[in-house]
């Protein structure tokens, strides 16, 4: 057994730092001992964080409960439970798609259908022809998971989030969470769950312990064994350098090298379970995917160093200067935008001490952010909907009033004519960067968000004084 000593964990965090992989929160448990649980400022342990496609593994458990209650047979076609949707099926081959096919991501479609405002998600999914015979080809598709969520609601009369409350969340003592929904009121099966890091660790530990938690059998051990073992080949789907995605797929769990399995979400949200080392690693991150994280973890475990740098549990604010005179002529003015893809209308700058306030209008709606120098300045979030997912307008986005989505912003002048502002939010993994280049006549904004699946991840806009 490889032990996760304190030096191993410090080495792991140092490798992440050197490879510019940003961690928001981390929890590691081995041999029933919680070795570390920390958040990186400005993120906090007790705050919710989106887990994105880690949600799929919770969806798998809902199907497992249905099977244990003898409400479903996963070998039966999905449509057999939904006769009302038969006329919406575009491809007769879809009638052969089983619940197992959905669990193993082998529906047979070759891309995810787009769902927009007003679309009925299930009808839209059924309206696409299959490219492959059901069960023959792995294609990672969040709509498979959403069809499973619809199944849970059809058979129980409850949203999946409600169905799992007494069966999974309550036994694991998970009380602080929420689950986004589509506009028909279904829990989004493929993503949408928001958790605290400690609660993700509880779920991972329950999986490691054959479905038990504090002596209580919470999950069906037979279902868990199926779900976390090889069910579907995917070695030919991903390139060789993405080795952790080529090890096979279970029932909404990924198989891994070194005898492990994992739950994975966008921006490298991760819960990695390695039974042979009695190890669970839960992480909230902002990175490109699980491969980069696991490469660092495995390197640290194999190195087993005697010493390692002591980690600093904070994300550093921007570095540069606090003030440049180039901003002075632009202060307090409303500066109109030229033609741009992002529908920006105008911008205005205010400055006081070591703070810069930016007002920016997009599509006739004004957003405001106050950035601090050499600090992450906390504030009420007036920037929340500036960045949106492609499918954002097809979701029901009522966030519970108890959720803290505080915004944090830092600025610095990185050259005498270039201002950089970085924006973070509680309950979000993505980071927004606004870079402003000034000359006598123009302010040029370079916008970037390091989140995938957004309407626009980067753009440029020129503002010109009248």
For the stretch 33-63, pLDDT in tens is 999 999 999 999 999 999 999 999 999 999 9
Give the rounded percent of residues in the chain with a pLDDT score beyond 90. 87
Q: Is the pTM of this model over 0.85?
A: yes
Q: What integer is the mean pLDDT of 111-118? A: 86
> Which of 268, 303, 338 finishes a domain?
303
Q: Is residue 260 part of a domain?
A: yes
- 289 and 338 both lie in a single domain: no
> Tell me, what CATH number does 15's domain have?
3.40.710.10
> Tell me, what CATH number does 389's domain have?
2.40.128.20
Phi then psi for residue 31, to 5 deg, are: 55, 45
Please determine, for residue 401, whether its predicted confidence score (pLDDT) is greater than 70.
yes
- 192 and 126 both lie in a single domain: yes
- 13 and 62 both lie in a single domain: yes
The C-alpha torsion from 385 through 386 and 387 to 390, rounded to 10°, is: 70
Give me 415's structure tokens: 């050259």
Binning the chain into helix, strand and coil, the percentages to the nearest 5 are 30, 30, 45
Question: Which structural domain range is residue 380 located in?
Answer: 325-464
Please determine, for residue 393, whether its predicted confidence score (pLDDT) is greater than 80.
no
Q: What integer is the mean pLDDT of 437-452? A: 89
- 252 and 351 both lie in a single domain: no
Q: Is residue 332 part of a domain?
A: yes
C-alpha to C-alpha distance for 107 and 137, rounded to whole angstroms = 8
C-alpha to C-alpha distance for 351 and 313, rounded to whole angstroms = 30
Q: Is residue 368 part of a domain?
A: yes
Please determine, for residue 390, whether its predicted confidence score (pLDDT) is greater than 50.
no
Give the rounded percent of residues in the chain with a pLDDT score beyond 70. 96
- Partners of 389 in the beta sheet? 454
pLDDT digits (tens, 9 = 90+) for 290-315: 999 999 999 999 998 999 999 999 99
Number of structural domains (the chain) is: 2
For residue 402, the model assigns a pLDDT of: 78
Q: Is residue 241 part of a domain?
A: yes
Give me 43's structure tokens: 């993120």
Say which residue, 167 or 401, is predicted with more confidence: 167
C-alpha to C-alpha distance for 257 and 150, rounded to whole angstroms = 33
Q: Is residue 388 part of a domain?
A: yes
pLDDT digits (tens, 9 = 90+) for 345-381: 999 999 999 999 999 999 999 999 999 999 999 999 9
Q: What integer is the mean pLDDT of 194-203? A: 98
- 162 and 212 both lie in a single domain: yes
Residue 364 burial (C-beta neighbours within 10 Å; 0-12, 13-18, 19+):
exposed
> Which of 246, 270, 303 finishes a domain?
303
Which residue reads 């979701």 in tokens?
395
Give me 262's structure tokens: 């994992």
- 223 and 77 both lie in a single domain: yes
């Amino acid at each position: 057994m490889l032990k996760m000593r304190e030096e191993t964990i410090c080495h792991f965090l140092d490798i992440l730092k050197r490879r510019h992989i940003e961690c928001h929160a981390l929890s590691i448990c081995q041999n029933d001992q919680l070795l570390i649980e920390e958040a990186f400022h400005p993120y906090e342990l007790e705050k919710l964080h989106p887990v994105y496609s880690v949600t799929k593994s919770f969806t798998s458990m809902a199907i497992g409960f249905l099977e244990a209650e003898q409400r479903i047979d996963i070998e039966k076609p999905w449509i057999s439970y939904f006769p009302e949707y038969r006329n919406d099926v575009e491809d007769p081959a879809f009638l052969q798609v089983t619940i197992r096919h959905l669990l193993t991501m082998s529906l047979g479609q070759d891309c995810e259908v787009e769902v927009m405002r007003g679309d009925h998600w299930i009808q839209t999914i059924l309206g696409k022809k299959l490219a492959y015979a059901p069960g023959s080809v792995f294609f990672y598709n969040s709509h498979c998971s959403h069809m499973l969520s619809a199944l849970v609601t059809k058979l129980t009369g409850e949203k999946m989030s409600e169905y799992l409350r007494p069966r999974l969340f309550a036994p694991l003592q998970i009380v602080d969470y929420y689950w986004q929904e589509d506009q028909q009121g279904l829990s989004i099966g493929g993503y949408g769950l928001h958790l605290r890091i400690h609660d993700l660790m509880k779920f991972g530990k329950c999986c490691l312990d054959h479905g038990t938690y504090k002596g209580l059998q919470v999950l069906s051990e037979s279902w868990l064994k199926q779900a976390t073992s090889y069910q579907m080949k995917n070695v030919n789907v991903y390139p060789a350098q993405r080795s952790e995605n080529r090890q096979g797929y279970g029932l909404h769990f990924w198989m891994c090298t070194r005898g492990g399995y994992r739950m994975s979400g966008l921006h490298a949200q991760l819960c990695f379970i390695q039974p042979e080392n009695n190890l669970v690693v839960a992480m909230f991150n902002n990175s490109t995917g699980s491969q980069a994280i696991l490469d660092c973890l495995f390197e640290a475990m194999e190195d087993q160093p005697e010493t390692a740098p002591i980690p600093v549990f904070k994300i550093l604010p921007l570095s540069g200067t606090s003030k440049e005179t180039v901003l002075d002529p632009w202060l307090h003015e409303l500066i109109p935008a030229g033609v741009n893809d992002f529908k920006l209308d105008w911008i205005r700058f205010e400055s006081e001490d070591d703070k810069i306030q930016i007002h920016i209008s997009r599509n006739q709606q004004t957003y405001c952010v106050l950035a601090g120098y050499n600090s992450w300045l906390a504030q009420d979030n007036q920037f929340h909907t500036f960045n949106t997912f492609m499918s954002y307008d097809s979701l029901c986005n009522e966030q519970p009033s108890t959720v803290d989505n505080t915004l944090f912003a830092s600025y610095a002048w990185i050259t005498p004519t270039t201002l950089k502002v970085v924006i973070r939010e509680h309950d979000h993994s993505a980071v927004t960067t606004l870079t402003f280049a000034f000359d006598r006549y123009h302010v040029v904004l370079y916008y970037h968000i390091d989140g995938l699946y957004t309407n626009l991840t980067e753009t440029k806009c020129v503002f010109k004084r009248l």
